[in-house]
Amino acid sequence: MKVGSEVIAIVNYGMGNLASINNMLKKIGAKSEITSDPARIRSAQKLILPGVGAFDTGMKRLADLGLMDVLNEQVRQRGIPVLGICLGMQLMTAGSEEGALSGLAWIDADTRRFRPLENSALKVPHMGWNVVRSEKPSALLRNCVGEQRFYFVHSYYVCCRSRADVLLTSDFAGTFDAGFERANIMGVQFHPEKSHRFGMSLLRNFAEGA
């Protein structure tokens, strides 16, 4: 599938590196737009749910903007591809230790806080470049050969209940799930828009038909 043949809606709920994601998509020739308009989201062929910040704030903003129904319609009923980034990935889970609100529950997973051992030199948040490992084949990782490094900034991480959903893992205070994929639902904990050629390859694969 030719890059740019489908419109990718970057969901704007006031939390996330929207312009950076949009710029990288345009750099690879993909058609994308930043929007909080339910009609525009409904007409898109793919979605990106970005996010930086607190779990409950993210869920509340989605609700306040009236986006819950259209997102569930697109993802659960129509089955269009969606990619969650950082907080966006976490919002797809059942809930988070960070807050009290329920998540979108698109995938059977929970969001937990990193808890390094008291005598560990590790400091939360997990921030900076880290290596990820592929746990299963995926079109999202097509042509991604050799060591893959991505940029992370997070204090919470997703824990999938089914290992079959785990796409990527990384290490910080133990091994954690850095990416998941089940059917049309994909999420990555890192920021592809900040990850140079590694992130560009992943977003290109998503745009081309992952």
Q: Is 154 a catalytic residue?
A: no
- The pLDDT tens digits of the residues spanning 159-168 come to 999 999 999 9
- The pLDDT tens digits of the residues spanning 25-45 come to 999 999 999 999 999 999 999
Domain 7-208: top CATH class: alpha beta
Q: What is the pLDDT of residue 1?
A: 41
- Catalytic residue from among 6, 181, 193, 208: 193
Q: What is the pLDDT of residue 103?
A: 98
Question: Is pLDDT of 12 > 70?
Answer: yes
**pLDDT exceeding 90 applies to what percent of the chain?**
89
Q: Is 33 a catalytic residue?
A: no
- The pLDDT tens digits of the residues spanning 69-116 come to 999 999 999 999 999 999 999 999 999 999 999 999 999 999 999 998
- Catalytic residue from among 86, 98, 126, 135: 86
Q: What is the pLDDT of residue 3?
A: 59
Q: What is the pLDDT of residue 118?
A: 72
CB-side neighbour CA atoms (13 Å) of 11: 35
Long-range contacts of 52-55 (CB under 8 A, 24+ apart): 52/15, 52/16, 52/17, 52/86, 52/87, 52/153, 53/15, 53/87, 54/98, 54/99, 55/87, 55/90, 55/91, 55/95, 55/96, 55/98, 55/99, 55/101, 55/103, 55/111, 55/156
Q: Is 86 a catalytic residue?
A: yes
